[in-house]
Amino acid sequence: MNAARTGYRVFSANSTAACTELAKRITERLGAELGKSVVYQETNGETRVEIKESVRGQDIFIIQTIPRDVNTAVMELLIMAYALKTSCARNIIGVIPYFPYSKQSKMRKRGSIVCKLLASMLAKAGLTHIITMDLHQKEIQGFFSFPVDNLRASPFLLQYIQEEIPNYRNAVIVAKSPDAAKRAQSYAERLRLGLAVIHGEAQCTELDMDDGRHSPPMVKNATVHPGLELPLMMAKEKPPITVVGDVGGRIAIIVDDIIDDVESFVAAAEILKERGAYKIYVMATHGILSAEAPRLIEESSVDEVVVTNTVPHEVQKLQCPKIKTVDISLILSEAIRRIHNGESMAYLFRNITVDD
């Protein structure tokens, strides 16, 4: 497409090959060329962005995939957005398939809601719209002062299950914790499969005790108002690990939104093997796969890990052949086309419910 005729350009906020791969796939589907820009690090570590063509009066889409160096990626996005704003771009839309800091969206003790801070920074830098995918908490959309389109990867993962997993009708969808039960239920209902939930050893990252209710700390001999006797909250006790649902002689498919530290997935796979599952798949939208994740997956009972290309993970795939990738550039390119043309986004959310 001719930029002068269509009035939009697509840029990549990172110049490395791994991060521009998704941007190239999207522009190929759009029939457009990737915008000319240079993003690099100075010798002192500062990020520099140079826009190499005119963007005046155009809709600009910045594609930023988040590699392992999250903070550098955030600065690249902020600086590019500001450079485009000062170059008189009409609208600046961030295409951020995996939104960083999305796990830090709740107040915990004397911490901060970093995700809200990042939302404010993006707005200040000049972004007017964001396209993202499977936010860790849907409430994050409320942190922004401009529109956010939270797309879903589940149609692509469901298609993979139906086309690539032999005898998937003998499978059961598994939630590795009660927190993931709604997502697992959605998959199970769409595939007409059974549901199992692993209960016990609750994930510490989402416990109520971390949300600030124990702040400030208790002080010895603290003065208590006379006559004030608050009821004592009973301490939580982890129940024995158990699997609610039958997985014996079945294919177990564990679903979640993010795979980062894989210890909990590996532990879940071991439990499912003990309960009789003969093949185990792990499926998620964002494959961050930090630290020793590839090695742990390779040595575990997990037969295959399926993630989308929202996050670059080519290095991890070389280390672990069990990791497979599903391409989601189709829905991102269609979202870009519809936003630029002022078309409804409802088609991309058909049959999507609040719990998905």
Supply the CATH number for residue 256's domain: 3.40.50.2020
> 179 and 69, same structural domain?
no
Whether residue 315 is contained in a domain is answered as yes
Whether residue 109 is contained in a domain is answered as yes
Outline where DSSP puts E strands in the chain: 8-12, 37-41, 47-51, 59-63, 91-96, 129-133, 148-151, 171-175, 194-199, 242-244, 251-259, 279-287, 304-308, 323-326
> 185 and 134, same structural domain?
no
> 109 and 178, same structural domain?
no
Q: In Å, how far from its chain's centre is CA 182?
A: 16
Whether residue 214 is contained in a domain is answered as no
> 306 and 247, same structural domain?
yes
> 94 and 24, same structural domain?
yes
- Residue 128: C-alpha distances to residues 8, 255, 339 (Å): 14, 32, 12
Task: Residue 101: give the domain boundaries.
Answer: 9-151
Instruction: State the total domains in the chain.
Output: 2
Q: Which residues pair with 324 in a beta bridge?
A: 306
> 24 and 134, same structural domain?
yes
> 133 and 282, same structural domain?
no
> 45 and 22, same structural domain?
yes
Are 161 and 179 in contact by the 8 Å Cβ rule? The answer is no
The tens place of each residue's pLDDT in the chain, 356 residues long, gives 444 445 899 999 987 777 789 999 999 999 999 999 999 999 998 999 999 999 999 999 999 998 778 999 999 999 999 999 999 999 999 999 999 999 998 888 888 999 999 999 999 999 999 999 999 998 899 999 999 999 999 999 999 999 999 999 999 999 998 889 999 999 999 999 999 999 876 444 444 445 554 555 555 555 656 666 778 777 777 777 789 999 999 999 999 999 998 999 999 999 999 999 999 999 999 999 988 999 999 999 999 999 999 999 999 999 999 999 999 999 999 999 999 999 999 999 988 877 67
Whether residue 227 is contained in a domain is answered as no
Whether residue 18 is contained in a domain is answered as yes
pTM above 0.85? yes
> 307 and 168, same structural domain?
yes
The values of phi and psi at residue 156, to 5°, are -70, -40
